[in-house]
Chain A
């Protein structure tokens, strides 16, 4: 992959290896961490440190310090206290599926992987909530709730692997957040271990928890304000009926204007997803879901709720589609067909490998009315940079995911990818859009933050950051761009030291 191939070859001498091993073994922090957890859950070997330098993004891997696998709030507190005492930085990590580099460690920090904190602690049907640990996988939670008639509404494309803790950190969305709302609407309370080592409960199950909405401020903070150790999520009743429509169009512009018309009509579908022809072909090749591969674009529209009501909405959507020139309007005949269509949509990004070995997935939001215009410019930019772009996105809320597919082994391609990416981002901002709809800022978009916010705005975001993490030790160097204190720590310079100790 791009980041990997872009990295520098590292060579070690036997003497260097011995020295490094001694250094790591002699590090007092490692001993303290091992005492607080257990030796097998504090890893300093090269394999662990190397792998925890990456997430699912295209950015050059960083270098992890000790990798800790806590199993309780108390252990997370112990890690935080040791880090504080010894002025070490902390990077929390879930499943490592982030696409903005939010979990990439800078400056060899302690990486806290919450994957072993994966218990569903309580399902409280009376209050319609569940208490879970941060390492619980999104789809596992939904499957666990299924027999009770509920689910966890945020459903990012990575839901089969991403963790609830990661969803909280990124305020994750997904196709169905169009109607149901993003993670912020589905998390009522969070137990957070602050950088001080104190554990606090933010929010609550009661109707209007007293005080500031610190819960809301924590969600989407990309691991910079502390580590979530218990999360109270809302249970959403499973809709008694679902209808999934597949509409195909001659052009992606027709699909986009259909989306605008549907929303303008006062319909709030559960999901409205668009795929262009290239990605439709790749997906169809992978899942054989029956997507039309000759259409310029397909729109996947889903309505759910009462059988009596969705009938009305589905008919209206079909009608609007035809008015907008749909080539075909098809309603998924059964659950199998519906599941196949969704499988195709949710694995779309991976299916890109059939087009090129590497990809760079963008994430921006534009006003729905600007979708068709912006998409046209996106194709133009890609062409000018001699890159392949595919578009598959959450059209209902204007959340674009232009995906640049390329082969990183080709000379100079990465520069073109980054140049095209920056242009696409600016086109979106010019159209009244925002930098990210659901992937977050991470490392990826820091440098664009001052094209969206003023210095004063950023200074206020930093105030929030400072009130949680005055030492700037928790996931430092993320979100807030260089030049605003928390990103400015000298220790964050890319460490070139040897990870294979």
Chain B
């Protein structure tokens, strides 16, 4: 069948295999069908050779975490993430692949353990509208917290769905750090409820497009028209930077240019933070901190070095994880849909973390944090570390 994949994109892979060790599912399985090279070859088999979309083929596609760790490793610059998104969209539309909301809805209900571990992610997708309300899922979203308030209009702080619900403290910390650097901050809150990343990964591109359009409308008005949009969740930032591709318009591409990861933005203003640090009499956080690079920060946005630049002055010691930024297995809803693989991938990450022996792991993505926390890894957002150095309690 026609997967509607671009000919040039699909043929840009020369099958050298350099992606294999950078793919978390290949790493834990050693199975070619669970590698980027294998998945691309299967796309070709389906698109060009009329290979049937068997359950194994669907498995090969649905086990992809979409971490895109293969992309920086690819010397041919194969746009793997886009190929996978398009493949899923086509297969979902053709009824060959089960939409993720259905999988999410059916899987945990049939399995109490999954229900427990999956509830967090479920609550999130419930809020994003991925799961129809009629399924009657329990509302797991925590009680309302103190609202965020604007302090100026220099920058917009994207608050999103997951983090706003679950980690509003991270937003508070982020806002304080930005303010310490001299920026007036407006949280986007209800102006931009969701970036659409999960929808895009699930092959529900239509929904993602309308979320993107609505966000662009509300964040491009009047006083905000040119303000940088700062994101402290790597997955959201990556999705928003890709609006140009998602919507295919110049306007969207221009909007995407305004999007920065918060560390990426602050890396250019570390001097201001250090000044504030010196005057406030703050104290570097007395911890050995390992930096865990969220895939969508490292492999997609490719701005992970900024996290180190921003963290370095404010913690006792920074240590690197020796796995070339291999995925932790969180992958948005992946850890719920593919618990076994996600667990194996996480085990690998945990052993790398143990080898580095940090006091805490800094992660700039809520999904990674939650996933690692389930393996009893203590995680913290980089902005919280900087905040507590600047504002010791």
Q: A residues near B, CB below 8 A?
A: 1, 4-5, 7, 9-12, 17, 43, 45-48, 50-52, 54-56, 69, 95-97, 113, 115-116, 118, 135, 137, 139-140, 143, 158, 160-161, 286, 347-354, 357-359, 409, 500
Contacts and interface: CB of A to CB of B under 8 A. Distances in A.
Contacts of A158: 16-18
Contacts of A95: 17, 20
Given A137-B21, A357-B8, 17 more contacts: A4-B41, A45-B54, A45-B56, A47-B38, A48-B31, A54-B15, A69-B30, A97-B16, A116-B29, A135-B30, A158-B17, A161-B19, A286-B75, A347-B18, A349-B14, A350-B74, A359-B14
A409 B11 CA distance: 10
Contacts of A135: 30
B30 A51 contact: no
B42 interface: yes
Given A1-B13, A1-B14, A52-B32, A161 B75 contact: no
Contact of A350 (B18, B33, B48): B18
B20 A48 contact: no
Contact of A51 (B14, B18, B41, B49): B41
B77 A353 contact: yes
Contacts of B74: 350
B45 A50 contact: yes
A144 B327 CA distance: 20
Contacts of A12: 50, 52
B57 interface: yes
A51 to B, nearest CB: 5
Given A47-B33, A51-B41, A350 B76 contact: yes
A34 to B, nearest CB: 16
A354 B18 CA distance: 16
Contacts of B19: 161
Contacts of B38: 47, 51
B51 interface: yes
B36 to A, nearest CB: 11
B44 interface: yes
B17 A161 contact: yes
A1 B15 contact: yes
A143 B31 CA distance: 23
A353 B41 contact: no
Contact of B56 (A46, A55, A113): A46
Contacts of B32: 48, 51-52, 96, 113
A347 B73 CA distance: 9
B75 A56 contact: no
B322 interface: yes
Given A47-B60, A350-B76, A115 B31 contact: yes
Contacts of B13: 1
B210 interface: no
Contacts of A349: 14, 16, 75
B12 interface: yes
Interface string B76-91: 1110000000000000
Contacts of B21: 137, 139-140, 160-161
A357 B16 CA distance: 12
27 contacts: A1-B11, A4-B41, A5-B11, A9-B48, A9-B50, A10-B51, A12-B52, A17-B52, A46-B56, A47-B38, A47-B42, A48-B32, A50-B41, A51-B33, A51-B42, A52-B32, A54-B15, A96-B32, A97-B16, A158-B17, A348-B75, A350-B16, A352-B14, A353-B76, A357-B8, A357-B14, A500-B52
B54 A47 contact: yes
Contact of B12 (A10, A43, A140, A353): A353
A357 B52 contact: no
A9 B49 CA distance: 5
A19 to B, nearest CB: 14
Contacts of B60: 47
Interface in B46-103: 48-52, 54, 56-57, 59-60, 73-78
A372 B52 CA distance: 51
B83 to A, nearest CB: 14
Contacts of A500: 51-52, 54
Nearest to B32: A51
Contacts of B16: 56, 97, 158, 349-350
Given A46-B54, A51-B42, A56 B76 contact: no
Contacts of A354: 76-77
B17 A143 contact: no
B275 to A, nearest CB: 29
Contact of A161 (B20, B50, B51): B20
A47 B11 contact: no
A56 B15 contact: yes
A46 B18 contact: no
- Nearest 7 A-B pairs (CB), nearest first? A350-B75, A115-B30, A353-B76, A47-B56, A347-B75, A45-B56, A97-B17
Interface string B309-328: 00000000000001000000
A485 to B, nearest CB: 32
B30 A11 contact: no
Contacts of A116: 29-30
Given A51-B32, A96-B32, A358-B14, A351 B75 contact: yes
A436 B60 CA distance: 36
A399 to B, nearest CB: 18
A113 B51 contact: no
Of the candidates B17, B45, B60, the one having the most CB atoms from chain A within 10 angstroms of its own CB is B17
Contacts of A45: 54, 56
Contacts of A97: 16-17
Nearest to B59: A47
Contacts of B57: 46-47
Contacts of B20: 95, 161
Of the candidates B19, B31, B322, the one having the most CB atoms from chain A within 10 angstroms of its own CB is B31
A50 B45 CA distance: 8
B41 to A, nearest CB: 6
A10 B41 CA distance: 15
B210 to A, nearest CB: 34
Contact of A96 (B8, B14, B17, B73): B17
Nearest to B55: A45
B30 A357 contact: no
Contacts of B78: 353
Contacts of B76: 350-354
Contact of A357 (B12, B41, B51, B56): B12
Nearest to A117: B30
Contacts of A286: 75, 77
B11 A50 contact: no
B44 to A, nearest CB: 6
B76 to A, nearest CB: 3
